[in-house]
Structure 1
Amino acid sequence: MTVSTPRDERVRSKEQRLTWLPGEIGIWIFILLDLAVFALFFLCIAYYRLTDPDSFLDGHGYLNTLPALINTIVLLTGSLAVVRAVQVMRGPASQQKNAQRFLLFAAACGVAFVVVKIVEYVHLFGSGITINSSSFFLCYIGFTMVHLVHVIIGTSVLVTFSVLVRRSRAAPTDVESGALYWHMVDLLWLALFPLLYLM
């Protein structure tokens, strides 16, 4: 003889299984879809590297790894700041407004990334390099610009949540969702940096 579990208990147990995930479930779906798209980008890089290796060797000569290294440090510092923001939001409600300064600091890191990247583009475009110059620059300019758009979106999200935190209208899961998006942006850069600058 089997005993059926009441529907309310089944729903409650399902919700409890998802509570270990930070943020909203929707942001996880978005991140997984975005990572799938970037996986295709990485396959494109691998394809062009195999079919046109000379263009990658020549292309590296035009790049300066110092701005890319600075941007890597900037994004990692921003990630540390959003981790602190999440920790504060999970603490006592009386302290949650302190998360605002961590979110704004992370957003400032995003702005710094954008500025460094624009300087890098200006140097390249000033040298006559375009997306049509070679297979390497098709990958480099195309994929880093897509990533740059993600950084701009992530920075906007952090600024928005910092305003909501100040007004006491942000829940911890909201800040967790913003932090997850920022970590994804960081992770993508940590893959693009070696693929385009070092290899």
Structure 2
Amino acid sequence: AVASGATVAVAAADVTDAAALGAAVDGLAASVAPVDVLVTSAGYAHPGRFVDLDAAVFRDQMEVDYFGTLHAVRAVVPAMVERRRGHLVLVSSTVAFVGIYGYSAYAPAKHAVRGLAETLRPELKPYGVTVACAYPPDTETPGFDRENAHKPDVTRRISGGIAPRPAAAVAKAIATGIERDRLVITADPTTAALARTAGLLRPVLHPYLDRHLPTD
């Protein structure tokens, strides 16, 4: 939803092209207003068995999901530091807490996003710039539909018991997390539990997930 009287402006850019993305951000800042809040929601997942995926898939996942995030952050942080205010929300994924069969290309990129967020938090805090990391679960989007077209059967069985969240619900959770200045933002009970206990639960989680593995 857009607030009454709000100005909405749109600029398209390839997040893997740092120069193009920076130019888009600068153009919006000049024509509308400086960026106060950045949410790095551009990304996608290409699931598949490790042995079946082409090397180019691994590289592209990092280029879009991690470097796309990095380029966006680098485009806005200098001005935020200069103004001594701003908020970054780096969008990671539930798979940043637990490795799931079929996401050997996607999960490392989302782990990298988590690491970037946790490292930037103390670096930018003295300048009044706060950092959060959002960990959405499966979410009802066109991208999720495309992801499902590539999922191995094992991955489908693991995720099939949990319904994807509506995109509006995930967006609301992120907005609430910004308002409450949370470092960790989740949008479903499963991810919230993993965020608190993933390290402790790993001895239990791995046997549970392994039940879905093929036997041949």
Q: Same fold (TM over 0.5)?
A: no
Structure with greater strand share of residues: 2
Q: TM-score, normalised by structure 1?
A: 0.31
**Larger RCO of the pair (alpha carbons < 8 Å, separation 6+):** 1
Q: TM-score, normalised by structure 2?
A: 0.30
Structure with greater helix share of residues: 1
